[in-house]
Amino acid sequence: MAKAMCYSALIVLLIFWLSIGHSEQLQSSQAQTLLRIQRLLNFPALLSSWNNNTDFCNTEPTPSLTVVCYEESITQLHMIGDKNVTPLPHDFSIDSFVTTLVKLPNLKVLTLVSLGLWGPLPGKIARFSSLEILNISSNFLYGAIPQEISTIKSLQTMILDDNNFTGRLPEWLSALSALAVLSLKKNSMNGSLPNSLGSLENLRILVLSNNHFSGEVPDLSSLTNLQVLDLEDNILGPQFPQLANKLVVLVLRKNRFSSGIPAEVGSYYQLQRLDLSFNRFVGPFPPSLLSLPSITYMNIAGNRFTGKLFDNLSCNVELEFVDLSSNLLTGSLPNCLHPDSNDRVVLYARNCLATGDQNQHPFSFCRNEALAVGIIPHRKKRKQASKAVLAFSIIGGIVGGIALVSLIFLLIKRVNSKKTRTSTTRLIAQNASTGYSSKFLSDARYISQAMKMGNLGLPAYRAFSLEELEEATNNFDTSTFIGEGSHGQMYRGQLKDGSLVAIRCLKMKKSHSTQNFMHHIELISKLRHRHLVSALGHCFECYLDDSSVSRIFLIFEYVPNGTLRSRISEGHRRQELTWTQRIAAAIGVAKGIQFLHTGIVPGVFSNNLKITDILLDQNLVAKISSYNLPLLAENMAKVGSGFSSSGSKELSINVRVKHEDKNDIYDFGVILLEVLVGRPLNSRNEVDALKNQLQASITADDAARRRTVDPAIHKGCSDESLKTVIEICIRCLLKDPADRPSVEDVLWNLQFAAQVQDAWRGDYQSSEGSPVSPSQPRLQLIFK
């Protein structure tokens, strides 16, 4: 009887055990491991329910905490902490943590999100030999992705988002042949993407956004399973990536892509989301993309797409969002995009569409810009040419310096002028506004740079002899001395042919041969642009004993008409620039900046621009007189930059390189601000205060706006034009460099302001001052 009782108790127990299904009894060592993890993580609130008696395998899973067991082992562990987590305390050791974690050897899925983990990810994480999914987002891990991970052959998903991993995307990724999802967004990784990426045949999702990756995207056309490619906010480009056609999401936003859209994109039949915004894409926008069968989101804003749109274009009915803003599109807004057609969002401002609303440019603007689009200096030829010239100069310097230089000067002059006429060619995209075919770019024609040079009216860049300079300045007589800045003395000279030049004299601190300076000279020789005080030539003065360089003279064109400040906020009333002239001057400065950034290689950034360094020539053309030449920086003591943004040292290197173009945009904003308010600005506080005032005036009425700006321009400016300039000025002055507009954006807005001002003047012209007489040489050439 007792025996029977005993049996039935056992059976009840057995039934009970069966009834709770697959409940597993965890190995006690693994339970200890979990408790140890709890301790290493400093007992987070998330794990507060864990104690010695917890039956880990049989607790109710929650969205933030889940343990899954199979046959007495943990196979899945999900721990998701608080979003606003801070790093774990100093005594946390990522190494001990991972060492403990890998004692759960059968783990297949591991999620450690927002736990405050910090430190370099230890390579021993690879001891998880059967790990399939790893998600360690939103922690504070840094350093390189450890190579040991390449041995986890079963890994299918690797998500390291929102940490601070650095270094390149490793070549060894191709060893992870099962990888289907790779996501590294919001880290600090850089360098170019490895070609091996193209061999990850199982890859479905590739997200590399918000890093500092640069260079061309490798050929991904063999990734036939790829559905999501998100490269937002890197420095990738210029070519459109080569991809297979199964893509569902393609995001190239905020990179440096500057090609056209290849025809294949029209075959992406599964494409739902296409975001190409804020690149430098050019060429025709194929309207057929609007009718791709799956498309719901299309953003091409902030590029230089051209082409004519027609009323009768068709769009996919599912389309929810379309942003065509800030391109060079002409024609009319397709009927299917009219905002009232359903509740889709359609944006198209700052094109040249015949809509009469949303801030369109006149047709001529898009046509002219389209002609300018795609101008790529043909650098190779140019380089060879300058090398030939340089070779001559080097020989001159080494053999005996000054005397010989003057002897071969004539020869150089001949070679030089010949070269400049033929050496550089530019690619011009013709008929961009009407072209539709994708052949468009290949049909582009070459025209000679010589015409451009001719327009500048400058003699070819050349080497000068010291005698020539002595003669031009009457042996550097004090009467020809203009001023002394941090970068040497400045003299005014008159050459034999009567032309005036400004000569900057740099005393060299270290002894170097001329050869050491040649790469600088090569850069300087390219500094020729309508809106720069252009370089005309150079001259080396060498010590006779060892032929090392004692002084370098840089010869610039002489710009006679004072600084921009002298015509805005310091001059006599009669000399002050009108609103139209001010916009023109601002456009000139912006074009000068654009040239410094993109017109020469390497670009010249962080120029510490000041309004006193903007000079005006006899036709009131604005020219930037001081730029960030490495030659000057290397040899001269640097002088504090006042309140300019380029002095802000707290930015990390990465940020600085990434937004290197935006320092100049800030400085430009300060100049524009002075142009608007008409009085000298002397501190950053003053700038900030005025910026806030202007900000407030934007939403106020016309009268309030006028009160904030220079009374001298009240009468002669149209409200729309004023408002446009105020808006762009404020954006240039934004704190975060990433938020500041590109120089192209600045230019478009200023040109828009100039056009509406023109139209307004045409209609209401009344009492605008006559242009300032061009014949008042005010010698105020200030080089700093």
Residues contributing to the site for ligand NAG (CB under 6 A): 51-52, 80, 111, 113, 135, 137, 142, 159, 164, 166, 183, 188, 190-191, 310, 312, 652
The structure tokens 């009131």 sit at 620
Nearer to ligand NAG, 190 or 755 (CB): 190
Amino acid at 672: L
Nearer to ligand NAG, 29 or 52 (CB): 52
The number of C-alpha atoms within 13 Å of 153 and in the hemisphere containing its C-beta is 0
User: How near is the Cβ of 164 to ligand NAG at its closest, in Å?
Assistant: 4
User: How near is the Cβ of 271 to ligand NAG at its closest, in Å?
Assistant: 20
User: 170: cis peptide before it, omega within 30°?
Assistant: no
User: How near is the Cβ of 443 to ligand NAG at its closest, in Å?
Assistant: 21
- Return d(Cα 391, Cα 257) in angstroms, integer: 36
User: How near is the Cβ of 185 to ligand NAG at its closest, in Å?
Assistant: 9
Nearby residues of 262 by Cβ (< 8 Å), 6 or more positions away: 240, 438
User: How near is the Cβ of 127 to ligand NAG at its closest, in Å?
Assistant: 22
User: How near is the Cβ of 685 to ligand NAG at its closest, in Å?
Assistant: 27
Nearer to ligand NAG, 52 or 699 (CB): 52
Nearer to ligand NAG, 212 or 419 (CB): 212
Nearer to ligand NAG, 110 or 527 (CB): 110
- Return d(Cα 590, Cα 624) in angstroms, integer: 10
Nearer to ligand NAG, 129 or 288 (CB): 288
- Return d(Cα 299, Cα 276) in angstroms, integer: 6
User: How near is the Cβ of 32 to ligand NAG at its closest, in Å?
Assistant: 8
User: How near is the Cβ of 434 to ligand NAG at its closest, in Å?
Assistant: 13
- Return d(Cα 111, Cα 385) in angstroms, integer: 59
Nearer to ligand NAG, 202 or 245 (CB): 202
User: How near is the Cβ of 410 to ligand NAG at its closest, in Å?
Assistant: 45
Nearer to ligand NAG, 132 or 617 (CB): 132
- Residue 700 burial (C-beta neighbours within 10 Å; 0-12, 13-18, 19+): exposed
Sign of the CA dihedral with 301 first, then 307, 310, and 315 last: negative
User: How near is the Cβ of 27 to ligand NAG at its closest, in Å?
Assistant: 15
Host H or E run for residue 463: strand 462-463
User: How near is the Cβ of 14 to ligand NAG at its closest, in Å?
Assistant: 30
Q: Which residues of 276-296 are buried (b: 16+ CB within 10 A; e: fewer)?
A: bbbbbbbbbbbbebbbbeebb
User: How near is the Cβ of 160 to ligand NAG at its closest, in Å?
Assistant: 10
Q: Which residues of 604-641 are buried (b: 16+ CB within 10 A; e: fewer)?
A: bbbbbbbbbbbbbbeebebbbbbbbbebbeebbeeeee
- For the record, the structure tokens of 488 come out as 């040497």
The length of the chain in residues reads: 784
Nearer to ligand NAG, 507 or 735 (CB): 735
Nearer to ligand NAG, 287 or 741 (CB): 287
- Return d(Cα 242, Cα 426) in angstroms, integer: 26
Region of 393 please: left (phi>0), alpha (psi -120 to 50) or beta: alpha
Nearer to ligand NAG, 137 or 625 (CB): 137
Nearer to ligand NAG, 210 or 306 (CB): 210
C-alpha distances (whole Å) from 470 to each of 403, 477, 485 are 13, 9, 21
Radius of gyration of the chain (CA): 33
Do residues 629 and 603 make contact, with C-beta atoms less than 8 angstroms apart?
Answer: no
Do strands 181-183 and 205-207 pair parallel, antiparallel, or not at all (unpaired)? parallel
Largest CA distance in the chain: 131
User: How near is the Cβ of 54 to ligand NAG at its closest, in Å?
Assistant: 10
DSSP 536-567: EEEEEEE-TTT--EEEEEEEEE---B-BTGGG
Nearer to ligand NAG, 191 or 194 (CB): 191
The structure tokens 């990536």 sit at 241
User: How near is the Cβ of 36 to ligand NAG at its closest, in Å?
Assistant: 11
Nearer to ligand NAG, 191 or 266 (CB): 191
User: How near is the Cβ of 167 to ligand NAG at its closest, in Å?
Assistant: 7
Nearby residues of 98 by Cβ (< 8 Å), 6 or more positions away: 121, 122, 124, 125
Nearer to ligand NAG, 187 or 569 (CB): 187
Nearby residues of 139 by Cβ (< 8 Å), 6 or more positions away: 112, 113, 114, 115, 116, 117, 118, 162, 163
- For the record, the structure tokens of 718 come out as 């149209």
Sign of the CA dihedral with 591 first, then 592, 598, and 604 last: negative
- Residue 713: strand, helix, or coil: helix
User: How near is the Cβ of 439 to ligand NAG at its closest, in Å?
Assistant: 20
Do residues 659 and 743 make contact, with C-beta atoms less than 8 angstroms apart?
Answer: no
End-to-end, the C-alpha distance of the chain in Å comes to: 109
Nearer to ligand NAG, 312 or 475 (CB): 312
